[in-house]
Amino acid sequence: MSTRNAHYLSAMGIQPWALRAAPRVSGQCSPVAADAAAEEIALANMAPAPVAAGHVTAGARADVAEMDWPRLEAAVAACRRCALAEGRTQTVFGVGERTADWMVVGEGPGAEEDRRGEPFVGRAGRLLDNMFVAIGLRREAVYIANVVKCRPPGNRDPQPEEVSACGAYLDRQIALVQPRLILALGRFAAQSLLQTDTPVGQLRGRVHRYAGTIPLIVTYHPAYLLRSPEQKARAWDDLRLARAQIAGDG
Ligand code: URA
Ligand code: SF4
């Protein structure tokens, strides 16, 4: 393995996993990797439950499809179109560069996201940040959103009618950003965006198209990677595929 690859893997927290067997490599560990290791050890048993399927575009509405950013943001902040409105502290719209090449889509806000109003700021978010580091991306350079904008109570799966109600907002965010690549994190985002029931393990590893146009790559959800660190090598392959897709498409 090259030093460069070792650095990337260490940024994803793969190196610390090997560390226990081979303490001598600790000199190669970046502070990010050390954080990732501590994070992983402290939180390995606390990841949320797996997620279910949905269909994003089923809820598309003409009014939302014409909104600009300020209108869309205001519409989401005031939205009560599904039952998830009742349990939220606030909506979690999305964050990042609105002309980004990369758009990253997760499932829905967790407790920390619900408190802070920003996606992926909890423990899964810290691993996601390390995954960005691994491919030379800054969090600020991508646009990050979720399939549903309100926290499902107790981290339960969003229901199909909730995904359907919220889907128009995500579709509009994608249309406004016009990313060159969508990275779908986990089963829920992948199956919703691709409107399929195929398991993530079969969707990852190749390039799909969102709505027949935008290249979309599926990888494991960082919360799942916290529980199943042995899958990080596969996630790393997906990230490299995504980076190659961006580099190769013009
Ligand atoms: N998990 C998600 O899918 N999205 C978030 O914003 C946080 C955790
Ligand atoms: Fe509206 Fe989406 Fe929140 Fe449901 S989850 S209330 S559709 S913003």
Which ligand is closest in space to the CA of residue 109? 1
Class of domain 91-249: alpha beta
Residue 60: its pLDDT value, please?
Answer: 53
pTM tops 0.75, yes or no: yes
Count Cβ neighbours within 10 Å for each residue of 91-120 and write b for 16 or more, e otherwise: bbbbbbbeebbbbbbbbbbbeebbeebbbb
Paired tokens of 33: 């990797």
One-character DSSP codes across 105-169: EES---HHHHHHTSSS-SHHHHHHHHHHHHTT--GGGSEEEESSSSPPGGGPPPPHHHHHHHHHH
Which ligand is closest in space to the CA of residue 83? 2
Spell out the domain ranges in the chain: 91-249
CA of 111 to the centre of ligand 1 (A): 9
Mean pLDDT, the chain cut into blocks of 10 residues (250 residues total): 57 44 35 43 34 42 92 98 98 98 98 98 97 94 98 94 96 98 97 96 97 97 98 97 88
Residue 232: its pLDDT value, please?
Answer: 96
Write the residue with the smallest CA distance to atom 2 of ligand 2: 166
Is the CB of 236 within 6 Å of ligand 1?
no
CA of 159 to the centre of ligand 1 (A): 16
Residue of 150, 161, 129 whose CA lies nearest to 52: 161
Paired tokens of 75: 């519409």
Residue 139: its pLDDT value, please?
Answer: 94
Is the CB of 107 within 6 Å of ligand 1?
yes
Residue 11: its pLDDT value, please?
Answer: 64
Q: What pLDDT, in 10s, does the model give residues 195-227? A: 999 999 999 999 999 999 999 999 999 999 999
Atom of ligand 1 nearest to the CA of 189: 3
